[in-house]
A and B are shown apart, each in its own frame.
Chain A
Amino acid sequence: MIGTATSPAPPVPSPPADPLVAYYRNVRQMNLTLAKDRYKQGFKVRTQEYIRGRGTLAIVDEEICMGCTHCFDNCAFESISMVDRKFALPEYSYTSRKAIIIEENCVGCEKCAIVCPVDAITMVTKHGFVVKDGRVVSTTAPPPPPPRPPTPTPVKLATLAPAPAPKAPTPAPSPPEPAEEPPEESGEEEGEGGDAP
């Protein structure tokens, strides 16, 4: 946007008369192509780093996240939200943001982990799944799924847990915005839950 104020925005396709200009144009084009190709290769390697498959979940390390919103922009399932965090220091105070995962929506597609520039997002297995030989497999006899994976299973309420699960956690900083794909999400969640036993 800045550069387009006085310079012509679209590339000039006409063949330049000056051989020097042609040289510079070729080099510029070649450099850009090279960078893109090499970058794509590096990106391919990066996609192999995380565990994948259903039964995985993204988690954010709050300490490391710096609020760049890459993951927010890249998430196709509306399962990331940004919250503000204030820093008050003796001489200076400012606001930064943090990403949080809405676990109900997360399908474990690992896209956010790949795009995170500081590796603040990692993929973990959901409750009832373990990593065996590099694959995520469900354990054979899982306990009934609790509403939140990290909460320790209580004695009595565990049996009642499946009923309040769908409506219980609506995270506060979730953006007020017309949802498009929640049905698909919940379907996925239920399918996974039903798959296990």
Chain B
Amino acid sequence: MQIEYVKGKIMEGRQSGFPRQYGPERSDHQPGIPLFPQEATRDLVVTFILVAMMFFLSAFVTPFLGPARGPQLSELIVPDWYLLFSWGLLKVADIFPQFTIGQGTPLKTEFSAAFWGDLLSGIPVIFLLILPFIDRGREARPAKAPVRSAFGLAFLIAWIFTSSLYSIREVVAQRWVSPNGAALIPDFTMKWFFIIPPVLVGLTSYIALRRLGYQPMRRWLVPYVAGLAAIVVAQSAWILFDPAGLGVEARPFTVEIAIALGIIAVPTVAVAAAVLLAPESTARKVSTWAGALGLIGFLAFYGGVAYLDQPRALGWVLSVLWPNMNTLVLIPMFAVLTAWLGTRRPYSTYEYLLNECYQCGKCHTVCPVTKVEDDALGGLNLVYNTFKKQHDGVPLWTCLACDACSAVCPLDIQYSDYILEERAKVHARMAADGGQRE
């Protein structure tokens, strides 16, 4: 009763499991100027001035641009490279339904491919405009805000990279062809590029960043990696065993194709099984080896087939792999990569957490060792000096690991974890140098 009451008071206003038992609750008292209306007013003024200047220049100082180039000069029209993404978005817009509403009225609106393309290009701008109203968190570092970073990366992949690629789809279709003359990377595959890689990148970066922040990610990893492996296995099985999966011309090369699919599918399945069944350290090792061996195996296969002077076989193998690039190339890569990132030991990145320190000095105030250590007169600060590796190891080896510093730290830096890691490192080095020095 009373104990529950006290616990409740201690944990009041905190999430359960929040590792902080000390001091007042964090608050968002950030001195600064509010966005609305102060900042918004100032920004509007600046914007209007810029727009006015542009109008002025375009109206009165128009440069002579020369005669327009006729469209018949080139078969493929592409804009400059930095506008390719917009061009790609316009091209992909034909997947949307095209219709017209309000026919015959003044409010006639045509939902054409051009309209959808404009809308797609405008979405990033709209998103950036409303971002400050959505994301009200304090955290400014991308690595500390996994959700925002994952969305941002997925967005960049889809809107910049994939759409730029898509804008030159004609070039791709001409350059890479299978032995029977079909495009190796058909339009259908390239359209899926807008969906699959961004999702993979987003989920992987979310898992990796959460893991960097010391979260156990098994609950995310298991369904994700297992699902990816299932997709790969299903696709491979469909290609090999379904009569519709492999074309008649590719049939004679079933063995080579099966080997290639095996090289791709086996590491993926191994990683998924390790994540599902084995402890984390084993899963980490398995993912490292599976990734390395899979890559080496694929390169060896590629080189081996080319060396054996079977270019036709290679062409047919690629004609199976490349159209299914999303499932058979990207998904295995991301499955292994995610398993590796999601199971790796965040210890090695501890200094990343310690870098948060903004040197308020609270830890030094409460540190009991500096009250009695002679070096305290010379400005010994255990936390700071350990981090800087100063004072010849005195701060590292005199630390009591009593965690008084972590208890008062406004950023919740667990200094004792750092002590653990550093001492273990020193012992490992001593062992490497041939045993105990004492």
Contact = CB atoms under 8 A, between A and B. Distances in A.
Interface of A: 87, 89-92
Given A89-B371, A90-B376, A90-B377, 7 more contacts: A87-B372, A89-B372, A89-B376, A89-B377, A91-B371, A92-B371, A92-B372
A94 to B, nearest CB: 8
A90 B372 CA distance: 9
A13 B28 CA distance: 67
Interface of B: 371-372, 376-377
10 contacts: A87-B372, A89-B371, A89-B372, A89-B376, A89-B377, A90-B376, A90-B377, A91-B371, A92-B371, A92-B372
| B interface SS class | helix
B201 to A, nearest CB: 55
Contacts of B372: 87, 89, 92
A50 to B, nearest CB: 14
A112 to B, nearest CB: 19
Nearest to B372: A89
Contacts of B376: 89-90
Nearest to A87: B372
Contacts of A91: 371
A90 B376 CA distance: 10
B393 to A, nearest CB: 15
Contacts of A90: 376-377
Contacts of B377: 89-90
B392 to A, nearest CB: 14
A153 to B, nearest CB: 34
Contacts of A89: 371-372, 376-377
Nearest to B374: A89
A123 B376 CA distance: 33
B404 to A, nearest CB: 15
A102 to B, nearest CB: 28
| 4 closest A-B pairs by CB | A91-B371, A92-B371, A89-B372, A92-B372
A90 B374 CA distance: 10
Contacts of A87: 372
Query: In this complex, which of A87, A89, A91, A92 has the most chain B Cβ atoms within 10 angstroms of its Cβ?
Result: A89
B119 to A, nearest CB: 68
A65 to B, nearest CB: 15
A196 to B, nearest CB: 33
